[in-house]
């Protein structure tokens, strides 16, 4: 389970909570411009845009959970079990495996608008990275400062949705989340007024009662609503420290505490890490479940002309 948000307050930021019951060997990884990206069915790119994000520490290919490229295009994959449906290889169009989609798009596209033209020919196919690593059921949020999309490979094909909320969690599909938002249109950050009956003397007895009904459980539908409410009611000064702090506070509002969510296998889902990237500066901030200090890695502080992945 995961939560992803896009946030603008002077500068533009993108990030997520990654909620899992185990580590996947995650490290901050920079893919420099001259690292050779070899795709299973879509050829090879020897030069491309550089990108930074959290990925599995595999030196042969950047298995990104989320990343942003040097042009300001951002993308994250989130768990989508039971709904994700990948196509068999048919040697048609541009066939991309689920683990390839983030580097494939971010290596070539400067914007969401440009990526949309690539999506028209793209087929997400059922190919594994290795025998030990089967395809993860995912859907994706793709964003820049101007636009945000959700991509879902389902039985009916690849669905591409405009995402005005700038938020994504997990199941159910995005069209449900979009409709479900209407159930909470009465929530407010302000103190509520009596609309029950003017004949009754009703008034709030505590702060925060305008948001009574805001769901607090860890389900994906509830986290979607809560993340959107926190994001769209967020107020922060427009400096870097304040924005980064505010971004992590929003993510903390939908984070998972060990023991609060027990999986069917009897394991505990926790927020393994939270991250935030200033898209304009390339500064990638992150913290982990067991270390709440916010650390920073700068994309432009690395050798962007390199030929090898930088695992930091």
Active site residues: 2
Dmax (CA) of the chain: 73
Q: Residue 276 in contact with residue 286, Cβ under 8 Å?
A: yes
Q: Are 73 and 142 in contact (CB under 8 A)?
A: yes
Which own/partner pairs from 120-124 qualify as long-range (CB within 8 Å, at least 24 positions apart)? 121/93, 121/94, 122/93, 122/94, 122/95, 122/96, 122/158, 123/87, 123/90, 123/92, 123/93, 123/94, 123/95, 123/96, 123/158, 124/86, 124/87, 124/96, 124/97, 124/98, 124/153, 124/158
> If DSSP codes are grouped into helix, strand and coil, which group holds residue 80?
coil
**Strands of 189-309, DSSP E:** 270-278, 283-288, 291-298
CB 272, CB 35: distance < 8 Å: no
């Amino acid at each position: 389970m995961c939560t992803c948000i896009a946030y603008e307050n002077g500068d533009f930021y993108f990030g997520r909570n990654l909620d899992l019951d185990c580590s996947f060997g995650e490290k901050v990884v920079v893919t420099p411009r001259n690292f050779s990206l070899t795709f299973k069915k879509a050829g090879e790119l020897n030069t491309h845009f550089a990108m930074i994000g959290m990925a599995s520490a595999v030196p042969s290919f950047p298995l990104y959970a989320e990343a942003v490229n040097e042009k300001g295009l951002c993308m994250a994959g989130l768990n989508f079990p039971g709904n994700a449906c990948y196509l068999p290889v048919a040697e048609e169009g541009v066939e991309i495996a689920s683990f390839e989609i983030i580097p494939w798009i971010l290596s070539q596209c400067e914007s969401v608008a440009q990526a949309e033209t690539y999506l028209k020919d793209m087929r997400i196919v059922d190919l594994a990275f290795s025998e030990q690593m089967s395809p993860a059921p995912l859907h994706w949020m793709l964003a820049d400062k101007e636009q945000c999309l959700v991509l879902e490979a389902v039985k009916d094909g690849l669905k591409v949705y405009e995402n005005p909320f700038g938020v994504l969690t997990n199941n159910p599909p995005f069209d449900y989340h979009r409709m479900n938002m209407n159930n909470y249109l009465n929530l407010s950050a302000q103190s509520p007024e009596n609309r029950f009956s003017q004949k009754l003397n009703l008034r709030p007895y505590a702060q925060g009662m305008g948001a009574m009904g805001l769901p607090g459980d860890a389900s994906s539908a509830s986290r979607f609503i809560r993340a959107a409410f926190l994001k769209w009611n967020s107020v922060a000064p427009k400096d870097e420290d304040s924005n980064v702090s505010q971004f992590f506070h929003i993510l903390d509002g939908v984070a998972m505490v060990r023991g609060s969510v027990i999986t069917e296998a009897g394991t505990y889902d926790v927020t393994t890490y939270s991250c935030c990237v200033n898209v304009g500066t390339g500064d990638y901030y992150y913290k982990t479940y067991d270390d709440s200090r916010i650390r920073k890695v700068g994309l432009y502080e690395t050798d962007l002309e390199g030929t090898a992945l930088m695992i930091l």
